[in-house]
Amino acid sequence: MTAKVIDGKEIAKKLRESIKVEVDKLKVNGKVPGLAVILVGIDPASQVYVGHKEKACKEAGFHSEVYKLAENTSQEELLSLIDKLNNDPNIHGILVQLPLPKHLDEKEVINRISFNKDVDGFHPLSAGALFVGEKSLVPCTPKGCIQLIKEIGYDLKGKKAVVVGRSNIVGKPVSILLLNENATVTICHSRTKDLKAELLEADVVVAAIGRPNFVTGDMIKPGAVVIDVGINRLDNGKLVGDVEFESAAEKASWITPVPGGVGPMTIAMLMQNTLEAFKS
């Protein structure tokens, strides 16, 4: 079998266009959704991601503020900026780009963001709300994964989904979202005894481990849907996912590419969350 490729770039573009149409309708009274993005330090990948977020905001007609803070910014300075943004009526979403420099306390920073402006969905209240099925802003990358699966018309009900990775940002929340779609979910991680055996049972694979080409075609059940969350840069400069694309595509029915799969969806979902925060 040669898999069909899920074109995340195109799907995300359509979603962003529909968000723009909605923003145009809403802004009759001059108000638009506002997103503040905070970047501390000069991590090259983070700079690229923040640039993409800023561009997407402009294209969707959002108000956008980007704060680029020095590497040696103190915890107090960062917290007071978050306090200011929490109280700013023109800002509906606040995103602190991760990872933060080592001297900063990431948990305290995330916890300081108002629950109703937590467009990343990383606040413990957002995570808890997702866990118990209450309304909240859902983390962007997991939400994007589910949206991609829906876009191909795949019904998750009763299917076996295997998530590889248990991070708070992707692995855990995507598992809850799959469960909400009535999939039977297994979460695998570095201590899983026989990953290959688990994966060979999976109708749906979500790979979010952060290790280049880790999941190979021999681990994929014929006909599976493969969602690759990984973005890894090899020494030769090439970007690859957590899934070895060529060999996995021989087995899967559908597969996301890297780049151009989940990545663009993360940004589209951020726009969607900001719009949702604006409307609520």
The window from 89-97, 183-191, 219-227, 243-251 that contacts ligand GUN (CB under 6 A) reads: 89-97
CB of 53 to ligand GUN, least distance (A): 9
Rounded to whole angstroms, the Cα distance separating 123 from 157 reads 29
Based on the residue annotation, tell me whether 53 is a catalytic residue of this protein.
yes
Q: Which of 117, 118, 120, 251 is catalytic?
A: 120
Give whichever of 219 and 231 is closer to ligand GUN, judged by the CB atom: 231
Binding positions for ligand GUN, 221-280, rule CB under 6 A = 266
CB of 11 to ligand GUN, least distance (A): 18
CB of 2 to ligand GUN, least distance (A): 31
| Residue 140 is a binding residue for ligand GUN (CB under 6 A) | yes
CB atoms inside a 10 Å sphere around CB 41: 18
- What single-letter amino acid sits at 35? L
Cβ-based burial of 76 (10 A; exposed 0-12, middle 13-18, buried ≥19): exposed
CB of 142 to ligand GUN, least distance (A): 10
Which of 73, 126, 136, 141: binder of ligand GUN (CB under 6 A)? 141
State the residue number with the nearest CB to ligand GUN. 98
| Residue 175 is a binding residue for ligand GUN (CB under 6 A) | no
CB of 146 to ligand GUN, least distance (A): 15
Which of 73, 97, 256, 274: binder of ligand GUN (CB under 6 A)? 97
Give whichever of 23 and 265 is closer to ligand GUN, judged by the CB atom: 265
Based on the residue annotation, tell me whether 120 is a catalytic residue of this protein.
yes
Based on the residue annotation, tell me whether 272 is a catalytic residue of this protein.
no
Rounded to whole angstroms, the Cα distance separating 239 from 65 reads 29
| Residue 120 is a binding residue for ligand GUN (CB under 6 A) | yes
Q: Torsion angle of alpha carbons 211, 212, 216, 217, nearest 10°?
A: 140
Closest C-alpha among 276, 230, 277, 264 to residue 14: 264
CB atoms inside a 10 Å sphere around CB 85: 22
Which of 5, 26, 66, 98: binder of ligand GUN (CB under 6 A)? 98
In the complex, which residues of this chain contact ligand GUN (CB under 6 A)?
95-98, 120, 140-141, 266
As annotated, the active-site residues are 53, 97, 120
